[in-house]
Amino acid sequence: MSAQEIVRLMNEEEQTVIRALQAAEGGLAQAAEKAAEAFRGGHRVIYVGAGTSGRIATMDAAEMPPTFGIEADRFIALHAGGAQAQSQAIEDAEDSEVAAIQDLNEAAAARGDVVIGLAASGRTPYVLGAIRHAKQKGIWTCGIANNPHSPLLSEADLGVLLETGPEVLTGSTRLKAGTAQKLALNRISTAAMVLSGKVIENLMVDVKAKNHKLKERCVRIVRDLTTATEDEARQVLASNGWSVRQALDHLKATAGR
């Protein structure tokens, strides 16, 4: 096959990802509701994965604080093999259920938290061990897998099947399965934050303005939600530590005088 034929085939195959997500809408919504409930109650969402699934989970958790202005420990990811496995494949790390139990205990997982396990096969021992241990602790669990009738789907309190089918490159679950898992976590975490009041309209009002680009975004958000000019928005943001929410409160209070 030519390079263009390979790309076209992969594009055609990826169409199944959206269909799989559409079929799983009910389960993803339930997971989002449980995640929002945990967050509002002061608890955490704990992702668990190995290999590609673990790296996808780590990425989603890492993006939550800057996007929604939350503490770094509210969404966390436990990756088989630890931090080293996030940038380097450690294939045998996924075979240890004991390691998952140790990692959950070190993270002080407790009732009220939510544990979401991801495994394309639905059989990864590290993920299954985490789900089983979490349930023993009275923690609500969700298992996301791409393989129907797999143990992860039946052992978790909620099983979410993302049925993406065989990969173009047989067994390479970083392709359709990985894409589906990334999109699934996008939906769960984003919906959870919307349900928790971290968004006004479709705007990230708790975004942390850590660089020039994000400061400019904050200015646009304040302008979109108020009658402030660009200069006024920039001034009130600067005087309120670049907090969009505080700037909005200030402008509301000023307008009411």
Identify whether the C-beta of residue 70 lies closer than 8 Å to the C-beta of residue 206.
yes
The one catalytic residue in 14, 33, 37, 63 is 63
Phi, psi of 123 (to 5 degrees): -130, 5
Does 94 qualify as catalytic in the annotation? yes
Does 106 qualify as catalytic in the annotation? no
Residues noted as catalytic: 63, 94
